[in-house]
Amino acid sequence: MRIGSLADAAGTTPRTVRHYHRLGLLGEPRRLSNGYREYTIDDVVRLMRIRWLADAGMPLGAIAAALDQRATDESDVVADLRALLAGIETERKSFTHKHTRLSALLDDAVEHRPLTALPRDAADTLAALIDAAAETEREALLRERDLLEVMAIAGTVPASFFDTTTAALADPDTRVKYLALLRRFSALEGRDVDDAADDIDSLAAELASMLDIGAPLSAAPDDTADQTGPLSIDDIVPDPAQRAVIIEATTRLQTTEPSRPGDSR
C-alpha cells in the first residue's frame, strides 16, 4: 500500500502521514527496491487510531503515550486525559458565557439600544434619567453611568449592587437623595482629603446606608462577570477625596449587617 492509499483510508493527507513519521507517532515502513514506502494493515490501524485520538482533542505529544500505554506509566495517560477534560470544561463555560452575552447584545442591537455591560434595568433607568436631567446634573449622571459600567466590566461588585442602585434611581424620593449625593460627590473633586474629612465621612455614611445591598462589595462576583484583571480603586476613582468616600462606604457595607424588611433606618 502506497502513502496516498494509506492517507485516504484514514481520511487524512500524505503530508500529515509524513509529519507523523517525523514526530515518531507512526513508524517508518519498509521500502521497496524502487525506494517507495510499503505500508501494511498494521500501519492503517495505527494511523486511524492516531487520527481518532487527535479528533477527540488529544495533543499529538500525548498520543504516543496513550497508544503505547503498556510501555509507559498509565498514570501519565490518566493525568493527560483529566487535564484535557478540565480544559474543555473551562472552554465550555467560556463559550456559554459568550453565547449568553452575545445573545443579549444582539437583542440590544436589534432594538437600537446602546451596547453596555450594565444590566438592562440599570441601563434603561440611567438613560431615562440622563435624557431628562438638567445640564447641571447630566454630567454627574454620565460619570456615574461610566463608573458603574467599569465596575460591571471589572466584576468588582455583586449583581445585587446594580439591582439596589437601579431601585434607588427608580424611586422618586430616593432618586432625589441619590442625585444630591452625586452633586456632593462631584464637588469633592480636587479637594484635599484632610480638609474634606467631615464631608467624606458624611457622604460615605449616607452612600452606605442608601446602597445597603445585603452583601459586601468584596463578595465574589457572578460567573458572568468579565473580571478583566487587577483594576484597582485608584484606576476606577482617580480623585483622592472621592476615592476616600468609596473606600469608607465599602468598609461600612462590609462591617454592617444588611437591613431586613421592616427594619427602621
CA pair distance 221, 227, nearest whole angstrom: 8
| One-letter amino acid of 107 | D
pLDDT of residue 152: 85
Alpha-carbon distance of 215 to 202, in angstroms, equals 21
**How much is the pLDDT for 44?**
94
Residues in CB range of 201: below 8 A, 6 or more apart: 248
Residue numbers in the chain where pLDDT is lower than 70: 69-74, 156, 211-232, 255-265
Asked if residues 216 and 254 have their Cβ atoms less than 8 Å apart, the reply is: yes
Cell of 31: 521500502
Tell me the whole-structure pTM to 2 decimals.
Answer: 0.58
Predicted pLDDT at 212? 64
60 Cβ contact partners less than 8 Å away, ≥ 6 residues apart: 20, 23, 25, 54
Structure confidence at residue 192 (pLDDT) = 94
